[in-house]
Structure 1
Amino acid sequence: MVVAMIFNLAFAICTFAGAKYGFGQQMTWFIDKPGYLRYALLYWWLGQNFYLVTAIIAKISIAMTLLRITPNKIHAVILYTISALTILVGTMFVLVSIFECTPVDFFWNRLTKSGKCVDPNALVGIAYTASVVAAIADFILGLLPCFIVWNLQMNRQTKIALAGIMGLGCIAGATVIVRIPYLSAYKHADFLHATHAVSICSNIETGVGITASSLATLRPIFRFLRDTTSGSRSRKRPTENSYPLSSVANNSDKHHWADTVGGYHSMSTTITGRQPSMQNGVFTSLIENLGVKGVQFEELISLDADTIRSLRSIPPISPLPNPPVTNKTYKIKSPVYGVIFLFKYLRDQTPTTPEAPIDGTYDKTAPENLFFAAQTIQNACGTQAILSVILNQDSASSTPYPIDIGDELRSFKDFTTGFPADLRGEALSNSETVRTAHNAFARASPFVDETVRTARDEEGDVYHFIGYTAVNGTLYELDGLQPYPISHGECDAEGFPEKVIGVLQRRVARYPEGETRFNLMAVVRDLRARAREIGDVEMLQREERKRRAWDWENTLRRSNFVGFIGEVLKGVVGMKEKEGKFDEWVQKAKGETERRLRR
């Protein structure tokens, strides 16, 4: 779109310069200004060609933008077809316009040179064809966003506003239609005067098209101006007025993000009287379902740097089949890609400001290769914290062992490159691949109505996941509820354990004395791969047993045992009735219940 704006600027300059030399004037006006006619024709010729190139590039740019946000294959086919037609017909019109006369400069030197130009009727016919294609393209590019945004994960008001903004292209299409009756002026003998309406409509068409496709990029600017003038935060912490503490979407909604990992995987999870815990098998299986290879999660039982360092250098337990000759204390080095921290959100904690968080500093000029997404929906902060680490450790510049994130996540990361944090968060929340993998670990329960929130839910404890990882020599805290990534200073792979533990200890110290409900999980290389590298058979077998246990636990998690329990209960009741001891059994059970209640 920047290229389109450059050509449109050139078009506007030609329009202003041409107006000075006689655009819109009748031929009699040039009788006493013969030198002006040459420049008027030259600027008309240049302006038309700049307009044609601008229109082509603007439409292609809008189509490419829509391709980045639509997962629908039919929409993609439509957009590619429109792009191909626009390029084909537009290029044909540009070539005819440039070489309309032979020699080319005869167009503006016709008073002093000899030459010839194409039949005006042929030129008008090509102009009609190009205008019809342009009008169809503008209307499709204007109406298609309505269908694209309707299934996005956002409220109806936002959908309508976004569709309206992106649909401004319809105005450009209407302008093209209005211009069509004036195209016959191309064959008018006094065409500098006759084509003034064509010039006006062309300026409106390109201006509206460029404006419509650029409006979305103004959002970060407006947010910055709002924050600097009013002192308001660009993204608030969850409160009872901003984020409900329980899901309000029904599980039947295909765009619903389920509450997973035992109720601790949500953005703002209500927990009453329970100790939060992480399940390494769930997180490991989740990223494997997303196509990530060679990574697993390890829960850390103590908040000290030695625990993290121990994950980077593991000595072999059993003898190596071919031990290195020059290294008697052979250890395999392996990175800790980052850590995921689960903590209780304090409602009465001093809030952060747009200028500075409680700890660290906002990196408002973070490097482009840093993946940071704002959290825009509930029940996704666990998945988002995981991806914040994984997607920042996939290149050799970040780690000696880059993570293989797979085709799906690679495509998603490439797709969102250059997006602001809020738009990247919207893209994440609307990713069918990520949502499907996330929801695969939701607990099956036919009795949970997530559309109902109780006062107890709203008053319960709220927990949140965030990620810490080192990128480009800096330790970053990646919290989707913050407006920017938080920098905690310089940090390399060797210094990561001490640096991140220091940050976490300062965070924990801000909690009331006796608060112990925290969990920390490290993102590390697959321990099975490391076992194979050092030839540790015992470690490999232990990790394989762990994986089988994880698979079994995940299978149980996704299973609904209500039917099984019902069948077992019916079998027991049938057996008691057959033995004639059903009433006696019921009375005994009642007595046991009464005794428990009296204790």
Structure 2
Amino acid sequence: MAYAGDWCLIESDPGVFTELIKRFNVRGIQVEEVWSLDAQTLEELKHVFQAWQPVYGLIFLFKWQGNNDSSGAHPDADLSIDDSVVNNACATQAILSILLNCPSIDLGPDLQEFKEFTREFNPYDKGLAMTNSEILRSVHNSFSRSDPFIMDSSESSSSEKEDIFHFISYVPIHGALYELDGLSNGPVNLGPCTDDDWLEKVRPVIQERMARYASAEIRFNLLALIKNREDVYKMRLETDISFEEREELLHKIELENIKFKRYERENSLRKHNFIPFIYNIIRILAERGELDARIEHAKKEMTKRKKERAEKKKNAEASGSKN
């Protein structure tokens, strides 16, 4: 694929994915991390503060293990796809697999145009169109983490093979649950479902996949694309509710705003290279002859803090034993 090597690695983080979707000009969607697959957690994901909330799809991240993993689980898997696509573009591909298959989502002009353009393409050509899309690639690459230790592109390649993590999507489409994997020649139909029960249907599928790697791998991540919670809360505010519920909803809206501001700050810090700033501070202190004194001060402060923590722990243990 022509531009496959130009896709950077991005972090599997709800703040990153939420802002990435926003930069695609898609509104009303956010991404939340799913910490557990138990029934209560999945139910809470669908119902937020007495209101029903659409869960559009799930994105599952796992360590790709070649023929022994997901791609080998289905006969239509195609392992000839370039590794750089698996390694880099699959995060955005997993997001698009959900966005483009949910008619209730307002895609915005860019993704709507891409969807119309690729409507009659086969799965391989759709993937090719995605990896060659300037808009999709530029938005994806805007989340590249700064690596201060890579001086030029030739230094980024290594003879040592790094772990490759792969993203796949699960989404209900026209009454059936589908697994959408960029390594496969096409979607995999996992059976019938409804909008209300598809999360229960997908739970054993993901659990079985995790169990397959349990002896050698514990690094998994599960993210859910959901309707923007602030929008859900505001819709609830327009209904006939009690004063107490109204106050609670306003509080939850405030918490969502705080969370999104945190996302914005974290994403900004991810992209910033602090090494030159730190280097110059150290250099200036050394030139002034102040570096050794600062190091000694820092050592003393660290020793003091360790001692304080040890004393707090000792006092807490003593208080617990008395009780």
Range class of TM-score, shorter chain? 0.7 to 0.9
- Specify the alignment match of 2:55 in structure 1: 336
On the 8 A contact 2:172/2:194 being kept in 1, the answer is yes
- Specify the alignment match of 1:511 in structure 2: 213
- Specify the alignment match of 1:568 in structure 2: 281
Equivalent of residue 100 in structure 2, options 391, 396, 399: 391
1:455 positional shift = 3.6
Aligned residue for 2:225, secondary structure, equals strand
- Give the Cα–Cα distance (whole angstroms) in 1 for the partners of residues 42 and 70 of structure 2: 30
Equivalent of residue 22 in structure 2, options 278, 285, 288: 288
Alignment CA distance shift 1:587-1:470 (3 Å): closer
Aligned residue for 2:62, secondary structure, equals strand
1:344 positional shift = 1.3
1:391 positional shift = 0.8
1:569 positional shift = 1.8
- Specify the alignment match of 1:307 in structure 2: 41
On the 8 A contact 1:308/1:522 being kept in 2, the answer is no
Aligned residue for 1:488, secondary structure, equals strand
Cα deviation code 1:301-358 (max 9, x no counterpart)? 112233122121122xxxxxxxxxxxxxxx2112100100001122461785xxxx62
On the 8 A contact 1:294/1:525 being kept in 2, the answer is yes
1:574 positional shift = 3.7
Query: Whose Rg is larger?
Result: 1
Alignment of 1:481-496 (within 5 A): 481-496=183-198
Aligned residue for 2:279, secondary structure, equals helix
Aligned residue-pair number: 281
1:481 positional shift = 0.7
Equivalent of residue 451 in structure 1, options 131, 134, 154: 154
Aligned residue for 2:213, secondary structure, equals coil
Alignment CA distance shift 1:491-1:450 (3 Å): farther
- Specify the alignment match of 2:265 in structure 1: 552
1:362 positional shift = 5.7
- Give the Cα–Cα distance (whole angstroms) in 1 for the partners of residues 88 and 174 of structure 2: 30
Alignment CA distance shift 1:279-1:295 (3 Å): same
Equivalent of residue 254 in structure 2, options 541, 554, 574: 541
Alignment CA distance shift 1:488-1:348 (3 Å): closer
Give, as a single letter, the amino acid of the residue that structure 2 aligns with 1:307: T
1:454 positional shift = 2.7
- Give the Cα–Cα distance (whole angstroms) in 1 for the partners of residues 8 and 142 of structure 2: 9
Alignment CA distance shift 1:512-1:419 (3 Å): same
Aligned residue for 1:484, secondary structure, equals coil
1:466 positional shift = 0.4
Aligned residue for 2:88, secondary structure, equals coil
More strand as a share of residues: 2
- Specify the alignment match of 2:13 in structure 1: 279
Q: CA RMSD in A?
A: 2.8
Give, as a single letter, the amino acid of the residue that structure 2 aligns with 1:559: H
- Specify the alignment match of 1:499 in structure 2: 201
Cα deviation code 1:36-88 (max 9, x no counterpart)? xxxxxxxxxxxxxxxxxxxxxxxxxxxxxxxxxxxxxxxxxxxxxxxxxxxxx
On the 8 A contact 1:340/1:520 being kept in 2, the answer is yes
- Specify the alignment match of 2:233 in structure 1: 531
- Give the Cα–Cα distance (whole angstroms) in 2 for the partners of residues 411 and 287 of structure 1: 16
Indicate whether 1:470 and 2:172 are aligned: yes
% of aligned pairs identical? 36
- Give the Cα–Cα distance (whole angstroms) in 1 for the partners of residues 278 and 91 of structure 2: 31
On the 8 A contact 2:18/2:30 being kept in 1, the answer is yes
Structure 1 unaligned regions, length at least 5: 1-152, 156-246, 250-255, 262-277, 316-330, 364-373, 396-401, 593-599
- Give the Cα–Cα distance (whole angstroms) in 1 for the partners of residues 295 and 62 of structure 2: 47
Cα deviation code 1:433-462 (max 9, x no counterpart)? 111110111012342255343343x1x432
- Give the Cα–Cα distance (whole angstroms) in 2 for the partners of residues 512 and 560 of structure 1: 36
- Specify the alignment match of 1:182 in structure 2: none
Give, as a single letter, the amino acid of the residue that structure 2 aligns with 1:257: W
Equivalent of residue 10 in structure 2, options 238, 256, 260: 260
- Give the Cα–Cα distance (whole angstroms) in 2 for the partners of residues 289 and 408 of structure 1: 10
1:586 positional shift = 9.9
- Give the Cα–Cα distance (whole angstroms) in 1 for the partners of residues 112 and 65 of structure 2: 36
On the 8 A contact 2:70/2:209 being kept in 1, the answer is no
Cα deviation code 1:115-155 (max 9, x no counterpart)? xxxxxxxxxxxxxxxxxxxxxxxxxxxxxxxxxxxxxx528
1:423 positional shift = 1.2
- Give the Cα–Cα distance (whole angstroms) in 2 for the partners of residues 282 and 542 of structure 1: 18
Cα deviation code 1:406-445 (max 9, x no counterpart)? 0000000000010111111111111111111101110123
- Specify the alignment match of 1:161 in structure 2: none
1:506 positional shift = 1.3
1:519 positional shift = 0.7
Give, as a single letter, the amino acid of the residue that structure 2 aligns with 1:343: F
1:558 positional shift = 1.5
On the 8 A contact 1:308/1:336 being kept in 2, the answer is no
- Specify the alignment match of 1:154 in structure 2: 2
Alignment of 1:300-379 (within 5 A): 300-315=34-49, 331-347=50-66, 349=68, 358=73, 377=85, 378-379=87-88
Structure 2 unaligned regions, length at least 5: 238-248, 301-323
- Give the Cα–Cα distance (whole angstroms) in 2 for the partners of residues 351 and 288 of structure 1: 29
Select the structure with the greater relative contact order (CA < 8 A; seq sep ≥ 6).
Answer: 2
- Specify the alignment match of 1:171 in structure 2: none
Alignment CA distance shift 1:571-1:337 (3 Å): same
On the 8 A contact 2:56/2:98 being kept in 1, the answer is yes
Give, as a single letter, the amino acid of the residue that structure 2 aligns with 1:566: Y
Aligned residue for 2:147, secondary structure, equals coil
Alignment CA distance shift 1:350-1:344 (3 Å): closer
1:496 positional shift = 1.0
- Give the Cα–Cα distance (whole angstroms) in 2 for the partners of residues 587 and 524 of structure 1: 48
- Give the Cα–Cα distance (whole angstroms) in 2 for the partners of residues 334 and 587 of structure 1: 53
- Specify the alignment match of 2:309 in structure 1: none
Give, as a single letter, the amino acid of the residue that structure 2 aligns with 1:286: L
